[in-house]
Amino acid sequence: MGLLELTPVAQDLASTARMMMQAGKGILAMDESNPTANRRFAKLGIPETVDARRAWRELILTTPGLGEHISSAILYDETIRQTASDGTAFLMLLAKAGIIAGIKVDAGAKDLAAHPGEKVTEGLDRLRERLAEYRQMGARFAKWRAVIAIGKGIPSRGCLEANAHGLARYAGLCQEAGLVPIVEPEVLMDGDHTLERCAEVTEAALRSVFAQLYEQRVLLEGMILKPNMVLSGADCPVQAGVEEVADTTVKVLLRAVPAAVPGIAFLSGGQSAEMASVRLNAMNVRWRDKAPWALTFSFSRAIQQPAMELWKGDASQAAAAQRLLYQRATANGMARRGAYQPPA
């Protein structure tokens, strides 16, 4: 076997990663932790209960045609164990729709000691055992999110390194368990920083992540990167245009992400659903033929939010909410091809 030939286990990981990145499709993030799901429900007056969360996730997973534009869905520990109201396991609904199941495994971003305003993601304790259980249940990939804030004097080197190390340790354990790791270093859009500052921080964060992935012997062919788009801070008075965002984002990625990575699936991070689609579309229109990796989506809010705002916990709105969800999935499936036409 040649030095760089993949073992059968590595080939399996690489082939799952390629399936997740298949043409015209992307990833649906529906892995909000209970506190995050409850926070989004509370804003819309939806009860913060296990039943309401189950009803919402059932609505998503029974959306007709969901698998046309969604290759994979990221679940949460509560959701991966749940069943629909007729007793069908959620995992079975996914399998029927031809959607690959994955699971969020981090334990959340906590304050980083001695680094005011900065976070580090926890969850490595007992991760090996948890991954084995999820794999046995049917998950084929996992997700871990690190959070990097931009502000006065931050991010610090200590924060970038701690988060990159956590991501790499997690990714190594995933591959050992036969799961494709989604590696998510999210540089937040909160703040009044410029596009240039976001580009600089995103490049630094990605370089730390790939250095650590290398040290931990993570197989690049068997992972997916989930980064932020490079954006002007939400409170920056000058907001970069769509093409500038698309070009800056891809140029930063070209500098920092090895070509062996099969795909890049962006988070939406609080952008409006429409802007997330338009920006992803511009990246594919302008770069698809030049970039070495697939450029697709792994959105939560930018797919779910419009439908959730219509549903608001009211069963009589479920079908209409599913149509909105399908519309966002379709828009992003088209954006992944560079063929999205925004409504006039």
Based on CB atoms, which residue is closest to ligand 13P, 144 or 326? 144
**Distance in angstroms (rounded) separating the CA atoms of residues 15 and 11:** 6
Based on CB atoms, which residue is closest to ligand 13P, 183 or 302? 302
Q: Name the burial class of residue 125, with classes exposed (0-12), middle (13-18) and buried (19+) by CB atoms within 10 angstroms of its CB.
A: exposed
Binding to ligand 13P in span 282-341, by CB under 6 A: 299-302
* CA distance to 207, 243, 284, 328, per residue, from 187 (Å): 13, 20, 21, 24
Task: Please identify, among the stretches 86-94, 131-139, 265-273, 333-341, the one whose residues bind ligand 13P according to the rule CB under 6 A.
Answer: 265-273
Asked if 177 and 132 count as a contact pair (C-beta separation under 8 A), the reply is yes
Residue 76 as a binder of ligand 13P (CB under 6 A): the answer is no
Residue 232 as a binder of ligand 13P (CB under 6 A): the answer is no
**Distance in angstroms (rounded) separating the CA atoms of residues 298 and 1:** 35
Residue 277 as a binder of ligand 13P (CB under 6 A): the answer is no
Residue 184 annotated among the catalytic residues of the structure:
yes
Q: Which residue type occupies 230? A: V
Asked if 245 and 229 count as a contact pair (C-beta separation under 8 A), the reply is yes
Shortest distance, position 143 Cβ to ligand 13P, whole Å:
7
Asked if 132 and 142 count as a contact pair (C-beta separation under 8 A), the reply is no
Q: Which residue in 102, 222, 269, 306 binds ligand 13P (CB under 6 A)?
A: 269
Say whether 144 sits in a helix, a strand or coil: strand
Structure tokens given for 207: 């370089």
Task: Please identify, among the stretches 117-125, 165-173, 262-270, 282-290, the one whose residues bind ligand 13P according to the rule CB under 6 A.
Answer: 262-270
Based on CB atoms, which residue is closest to ligand 13P, 51 or 309? 309
Q: Which residue in 145, 193, 279, 336 binds ligand 13P (CB under 6 A)?
A: 145
Catalytic residue among 32, 58, 184, 221: 184
Residues that bind ligand 13P (CB under 6 A): 29, 145, 184, 267-269, 299-302
Q: Which residues are catalytic?
A: 184, 226
